[in-house]
Structures are given as structure tokens and as C-alpha cells.
Amino acid sequence: MTNFTAGYFTMTEQEAVEYAKGTLDFFAPDAELSCKEIGDGNLNYVFRIVDAHTDRSLIIKQAGPVARISDEFKLSPDRNRIEYDILRLQGELAPGFVPEVYHYDPVMNCTAMEDLSRFQILRTALGKHQSFPHFADHITTFLVNTLLSTSDLVLGHKEKKELVKQFTNPELCEITEDLVYTEPFFHCPRNDVFEGTRSFVEREVWADETLALETAKLKFNFLTNAQSLLHGDLHTGSIFVTEDETKVIDPEFAFYGPAGYDIGNVIANLIFAYENAKATDGTPEYQRFLLETIEQVVDQFKTKFTAAFRDQATEQVARYEGFLEDYLTGILQDTAAVVGLELCRRVIGIAKVKDLTDIADPERRTTAEINCLTLGKQLILNRRDYQTGDSFIAAIKKEDTP
Amino acid sequence: MTNFTAGYFTMTEQEAVEYAKGTLDFFAPDAELSCKEIGDGNLNYVFRIVDAHTDRSLIIKQAGPVARISDEFKLSPDRNRIEYDILRLQGELAPGFVPEVYHYDPVMNCTAMEDLSRFQILRTALGKHQSFPHFADHITTFLVNTLLSTSDLVLGHKEKKELVKQFTNPELCEITEDLVYTEPFFHCPRNDVFEGTRSFVEREVWADETLALETAKLKFNFLTNAQSLLHGDLHTGSIFVTEDETKVIDPEFAFYGPAGYDIGNVIANLIFAYENAKATDGTPEYQRFLLETIEQVVDQFKTKFTAAFRDQATEQVARYEGFLEDYLTGILQDTAAVVGLELCRRVIGIAKVKDLTDIADPERRTTAEINCLTLGKQLILNRRDYQTGDSFIAAIKKEDTP
């Protein structure tokens, strides 16, 4: 047997099987295990281990060598600890909506978790024009359960302060601060603008000082507002779906920030799917499903948040007449702003979404991207005006090419 | 010699001398030391140690037995670590405006620091109608240097997040959350209202739902807004003065919160001194000194903050046109609100100020207290309207009894 306690090394498939047998209390002693590395080889190795007798399976996710990661991305292995801790917590707060985690090993830098092979990535599925009628219901439950329960509305203020400490995440936050809140809004060398869209960006985004000022205010809200424990990267590539189930994965960006950040990311990425659907001749029914989902995310979030608040709020001053309405108004305002930021940054910044880059026809891609930018600007500049699902849909439809 | 490494015990005066000789590199080997315990016996023992040869002296501040503190106040000794760390940091950021700290001992739970015996407490001195013409200049330098330098405007965002962690202060924050933001604004058994003021409080504060709602919003700002590293308890009892010098002491409440909290506490406590001066027949010159000081605190803070920002800001988006103005508007708005909260809570809540309780004549005391409450409400409810020293003075004078 390999000695797994001596220190960190990158596992082979065979060593992952030995690790599962020797360290985890998951498979039966007579299990007949096979293993395949299925990661994309970027930052993590992802081993899928299956027992031929029972078909039970699990995933071991191991961080690549620290040296390599540090050199390239300056990311410490602490992100794996954060991911494990937050998956445990989210699993308690929103049972069934995150993969189950079985084990974390700070020496081997790996986490053993539920195998989600029967799921597909939501962004990929939406790219194939598949509908998920329960998605709005699922994701709003996840959002309300995680965002409300970790806020000062419900959690004791001392406990909350400990969670703020535990989930301090400087390196991953820096990525967001740079890529979402800063670089897209000026002529930064790291930006990556599609040729057809470039003149619009130069004219309507980089030359707009009013827009720049609003993004600066929003960046400081992101930097200072420790409202709720966020997933922090809740786009449709971080969501696994089947027809009946939704699982939120990859919470390594988790930290305490404005609740609207998570909600806004969900909505913006549904808008990308909608722009993709229009540009790739999705059926009117499919387009309608996407718009209805966006509307439901906003409205169901508000309804469920209100009900859960009434049920769970422990902070007495939060129960003063008018407080909840004011609090929700703030969340929705932040949500609209983040939708706008995400719409702009995925068009202009270095990190792209397939919904836009997969649009083969250059004119259609440009149209889709300019729609995103025009809508994004609107939402940032007039973020106080979007308090209902309706108002988001009206804004989205206004950009529909006739 | 006493063995100081074996574990914590409460020192006698003689043991404090031995400790200073054996542990600190402060006095000469042939120093002839004498010691007197000068603390008020509340939470800490304060030993003043003097060398008869040179007249050099220092203070050793030792926390009382943990058990006793825990039973009474549920405060962990971590507050001493926080106090030492913040004094070091404030000493770097605002040299000369805090006592120098020489040594911290986590086992003996004590800190050795500069002896400030030649200073007096500002609140006491103002009660004797003494003027300090440099105070506004000094305190605004302290405020700007500590509040700006620890914010995301100047400090790298990763470093700032580490400071947020380091100065997480759940127990002391809870005291403020309860005593400043919650209890004064409803009929809480712990409140302590002067008989003459009581009917006004019942009618104008506890029955005012609009006021309650605004205090709830402000409480959540205090709970979530990690803007600057605050002193956290900057009333005139935490400030030592001579004619030429100002030292800020007792920063054990330090944590990351809204910058306006510190500024607001300074101003509110100057207003208490002003109400005291009026009620105890202070000369017109002395009253004018207090009003001018308040005006200067506001205006010099803005001027110095603006200049220091131009000089030191590292965050590029903060230099966008219009950002600084918006940022300062926010700080001033928080300042006005905190002035209002402090004015109300010292009248209604459990923690009093001598400026009011020392007013011997019951009618005059009631007048002073009602002035504070009326002004406090104004400032909380209309906090957006106080952006200049002028506007604060106008509001204060409006409450002057004709």
C-alpha cells in the first residue's frame, strides 16, 4: 500500500483506488473498484471510482501540485479547505442542493464527494435548448436558504463574525474584483473583445464616465458589504442538473459579500442562454421558458425570502415595520447591478461564456453581445428600478432585435 | 525573583517592579523603581512604575483574572491582544497620537506602555471648562490617518481582509450592538432614564416607529459595513490631552466598521460637553470654543481626508471622477447618524456620561437631555442633510433654549 500520511503527492488512478480503500469508509471491503481521471486537467485532478459489484461510485477531487498552482495563479491550497467547509455548510442549509462531501484531507489536498455523473452542466444543457421546469424553484430555495441563514437577520452576530473570518478568501475575491469590477470598464490589456463588438465597447462602455463611476461604487460594495455567505461564482457552469434535481458545485469563491451577487449571477447567465437561444434559432417555447425562469427566479426569491424571514429572523430590530421591505429593496438593487456587471464583463473581459462565443455567425454574435452590453449598462445605471421579475423581463425584451 | 513564565497570576506592586526589571528592556540596570497601582479596579490593574534616578516611568496594564471577567462580562482576554495590536498599528499610522506600547505578554495578560500621567482625560477637562485649541486639528489627523489608511482606498484588498480577520471583535461589538443600536430605542429593562426626561422618551422616542426603523437600518450598517479599522469607542473619556498634545487610548473595541462611527462619537461627546457648559454657566467664549471645535472636526476631517486621499489612494477605480465626493458623502451621512445614536443612547441607555449626570439642577439636566434627544432624532432621521460643519452647528443651535 502507498503511504498517504507521509506528505502530499499527486495520485495516479491506481493510487486513488488505494486511497479510497484505505482511507474512506465508503466502499465495502470486498468492493471491486475501478478508477478514471475525468478532470479537465486545469487546476484539479478528478478521479471517478466505481464499485463493479454495487455500481456505487464517488469522486475524489485533488488539487494539483501547490508549486505549479502558485506559479501560475498564486492560489493557496486553502481554497480546497474553503470548498469543503462551504459544501458541508450549504449541505446543512440547503439539503440536497449541493454534492454530499464524505472526507477532506489537508495533507493530500483532496476531497471525496458524491459522484454526479448522471447530471449535466446547466450551461451545456441550455446550449442544447433543454428546458428545466423546476430549476427556478430549486435555485431560489438554494439562494434563500444559504443567503438568509448566514445573514445577521437569522444567525447570531457572534457566530456570523466567526463565519466571516472562516470564509475570508482574499485570492479568489481578488479575481472577481479585477475581472468583474475593474478591467471590463476601461481599456485594459487583459480584455478580450470580439472584433464586431469592439467599436461599441470603445464608444459606449470605455468612454462612459458615468458608468465607470457606478462600477467603482459597486466594487466598494463588493469589497466591504459582509451581508451573506455567498457561493461567489454562481453561473450556469457551476450548476449541475437533471430533469428533477439541481446541484450547485464549485463554491471555492465563497466569502461574505452582498447577497445580490449570487442572485445576479444566476440571472445574467440565464440571459446569456436567452441571447444564445435567439442567435441559434431556439423555438419560441424555449425562449419563453428562459424568460419565465428569469422572472420566477426574481419573484420566487422574494416570496420565499419573505416567508423564511418571517419564520426564522432572530434579530429583533429586523422585525420593525418596514425593515424587511427595505432590506429586500437593497438586495434587488444589488442583484440588478450584478446582472449588469456580469453581462458586460463576459463580453469584454478575459473570462468568456460559451453561450456567446459559440454563436458561429459573426453578425449574430455581435448582435447578442451588444444586447448584453446595452442591457448591462441599463441595469447598472438604473439599478434601483428593477424590483420585480416583470421589470427584468421588460428590460430584456427591450433589447430584442425586432 | 518571581517566576513569570509559569502561568498567569495577578501581580502585586512589588511583583510589577520585578516584572519590569526582569522582562522589559526599559529601565537601566541600576534603576531605583517604585510602583503604585492606579487603576480604577474595574477590569484592569494599572501599575505606574517610576525610576527615582531618572524620573522615567511606564505603565503596566494587567487584565484581571479571566474567571472573574468571564463571569461578569463574558469578555475573553483576546481584547488585550486586540488592544496591543491596534495600539501598535495606530502608532504607525498616526505617530504621537496614541501611547507608545513597549511589550505585550499573552501569559501574564499585560501590556507595558507609555506613562501618560501628565495628561488629563478630555471629558474631565471639558467639565472644568478648559479649552484645547489644537484638539480639532489633532483628532482629525488621527481620524484621517487611521480611517483612510485601513480602508480599501489605500490598503491592498488582500492585506485589508487579513486585518478584518485579525480585528474581528465579537464580544465588544455585541456591547455596541446592544447598548447603542438596540436598547435605547424601545422600552428595555436595562435602560436608565432620568425621571424628568422620562415622559419625553416615552412619547418622542419609544413611540416613534419611523425612528425605530431608521435605527434598525443603521444597526445593519454597523453589522455589515467593513469600511475602516475603527477605534470603536472614541468618546471624550478615551482621549487624553495636555495643552499641546492629544493621545487616544483604550482601543479595545477596535474592529472594521463604518468610518463615520468614530467621527460621530467624537462630535456627539463634544455636544455633551456643550450641553454641560450651557447647564453649568460656562462662559460664552467657552461655549464658542466647543461649537468651533465641532465645526472644525467636520470640516478639517473632510479637507484632510481629501488631501490624503489624493496623495495615497492606490485603488484605481476610486480615482474615477466623482468617486471621492460620493465616498465622503457616505461617511458624513454615517457620521450624522452616529452622532444622533450616541446623543440618544447616553440619555436613555445604561451607559451614561458625566457631562449630563453631573448637571445638579434637575430642570437644567432635563433640558440638556431633551436637547440631546431632539437633536439626536433630527440627525438620525435626516442624516443625509449634514455634510458640513456649518450644518451641524445650525442643528445644534436650533435646540438652544432661548
Q: Hey, are the CB atoms on B317 and A171 less than 8 Å from each other?
A: no
Query: What three-state secondary structure class fits B363?
Result: helix
The CATH homologous superfamily for domain A13-114 is: Phosphorylase Kinase; domain 1 (3.30.200.20)
This complex has an ipTM of 0.94
Give CA torsion, residues B84, B87, B93, B97, to 10 deg: -170
Cβ–Cβ contact B213 with A under 8 A: yes
Inform me whether the C-beta atom of residue A220 falls under 8 Å from chain B C-beta atoms: yes
Residues A77, A62: Cα–Cα separation, whole Å? 10
CA dist., res. A35 & res. B140, Å (int): 65
Q: Closest Cα of chain B to A143: distance in Å?
A: 19
| Closest chain A residue to the Cα of B258, Cα to Cα | A224
Residue of B nearest to A216 (CA): B317
When CB atoms are compared, the residue of B161, B321, B327 closest to A170 is B161
- Residue contact A161–B177, C-beta within 8 A: no
Q: B328 — contact with chain A (CB < 8 Å)?
A: no
Thinking of the domain A120-398, which architecture would CATH place it in?
Answer: Alpha-Beta Complex (3.90)
| pLDDT values of chain A reduced to their tens digit, one per residue, 402 residues | 566 666 888 899 999 999 999 889 999 999 999 999 998 756 788 999 999 999 999 999 988 764 343 344 556 667 778 889 999 999 999 999 999 999 999 888 899 999 999 999 999 999 999 999 999 999 999 999 999 999 999 999 999 999 999 999 999 999 999 999 999 999 999 999 999 999 999 999 999 999 999 999 999 999 999 999 999 999 999 999 999 999 999 998 999 999 999 999 999 999 999 999 999 999 999 999 999 999 999 999 999 999 999 999 999 999 999 999 999 999 999 999 999 999 999 999 999 999 999 999 999 999 999 999 999 999 999 999 999 999 999 999 997 765
In total, the C-beta contacts within 8 angstroms joining chain A to chain B are 102
Answer whether A181 touches B (CB < 8 Å): yes
Q: Does B161 touch chain A (CB under 8 A)?
A: yes
Give the closest of A165, A219, A322 to B168, CB-based: A165
**What pLDDT is attached to residue A401?**
60
Task: State whether B168 and A173 contact (CB < 8 Å).
Answer: no
Which residues does chain A have within 8 Å of residue B232's beta carbon, measured at their own beta carbons?
none
DSSP A64: P
B224 contacts in chain A (CB < 8 Å): 152, 225-227
CA distance A190 to A181: 14
DSSP B58-97: EEEEEEPPHHHHHHHH---THHHHHHHHHHHHHHHHSTTS
Query: How close is the nearest chain A Cα to the Cα of B224, in Å?
Result: 5
Three-state SS string over A174-209 comes to: HHHHHHCCCHHHCCCCCCCCCHHHHHHHHHHHHCCH
**CB–CB of A220 and B152 under 8 A?**
yes
Which of B165, B181, B220 shows the shortest C-beta gap to A168? B165
Chain B partners within 8 Å of A161 (Cβ)? 168-170, 173
Distances (CA, A) of A291 to A379, A395, B33, B76, B156: 16, 11, 80, 53, 40
**Contact criterion met (CB < 8 Å) for B322 and A177:** no
* Helices within A59-108 (DSSP H only): 66-73, 78-93
Q: What is the reported pLDDT for A74?
A: 53
Q: Which of A220, A255, A321, A329 to mutate to test the interface with B (most CBs of B within 10 A)?
A: A220
The answer to whether B209 contacts A321, with C-beta atoms less than 8 Å apart, is yes
Q: CB of B212 within 8 Å of any CB in chain A?
A: yes
Distance from CA of B113 to the nearest CA of A (A): 29
Q: Tell which of A209, A214, A320, A325 to mutate to test the B interface (max B CBs under 10 Å).
A: A320
Residues from chain B contacting residue A219 (CB–CB below 8 Å): 317
Distance between CA atoms of residues A89 and A109, nearest Å:
19
Q: Which ranges of B167-259 would DSSP assign to H, the alpha helix?
A: 170-179, 195-200, 209-224
> Do A193 and A202 touch, CB atoms closer than 8 A?
no
User: Using the 8-state DSSP alphabet, how is residue B225 labeled?
Assistant: B
The three cell numbers of residue B309 are: 486621499
pLDDT of residue A76: 67
- Asked if A346 and A276 count as a contact pair (C-beta separation under 8 A), the reply is no
Q: Which residue of B has its CA nearest to A176?
A: B157
A227 at interface of B, judged by CB pairs closer than 8 A = yes
> Across the interface, do B157 and A173 touch by the CB < 8 Å criterion?
yes
Closest CA to B380 of B221, B225, B230: B221
- Listed in sequence order, the residues at least 6 apart from A354 whose beta carbon sits closer than 8 Å to its beta carbon are A123, A124, A127
Nearest-Cα distance to chain B for A326, in Å, is: 8
B149 touches chain A (CB under 8 A): no
Domain ranges of chain A: 13-114, 120-398
B31: nearest Cα among B52, B62, B59 = B52
φ, ψ of residue B47 in degrees (nearest 5): -100, 130
The set of cell numbers assigned to A369 is 453581445
Which residue type is seen at A59?
I
Which chain A residues are within 8 Å of B158, Cβ to Cβ? 170-171, 174
Over residues A358-399, the pLDDT tens digits come to: 999 999 999 999 999 999 999 999 999 999 999 999 999 997
- Give A327's contacts in chain B (Cβ within 8 Å): 220
Question: Is A321 in contact with B165 (Cβ distance < 8 A)?
Answer: no
Contact B189/A at CB under 8 A: no
The rounded distance, in Å, linking the Cα atoms of B45 and B51 is 20
Return the residue of A nearest to B221 by Cα. A225
The per-residue pLDDT string of chain B (402 residues; one tens digit each, 9 = 90 and over) reads 566 666 888 899 999 999 999 889 999 999 999 999 998 756 788 999 999 999 999 999 988 764 343 344 556 667 778 889 999 999 999 999 999 999 999 888 899 999 999 999 999 999 999 999 999 999 999 999 999 999 999 999 999 999 999 999 999 999 999 999 999 999 999 999 999 999 999 999 999 999 999 999 999 999 999 999 999 999 999 999 999 999 999 998 999 999 999 999 999 999 999 999 999 999 999 999 999 999 999 999 999 999 999 999 999 999 999 999 999 999 999 999 999 999 999 999 999 999 999 999 999 999 999 999 999 999 999 999 999 999 999 999 997 765
Residue A96 φ/ψ region, left for φ over 0, alpha for ψ in the -120 to 50 degree band, beta for the rest: left
Q: Which helix (H) or strand (E) holds A284?
A: helix A284-312
Rounded Cα distance, A105 and A62, in Å? 9
pLDDT at A133: 97
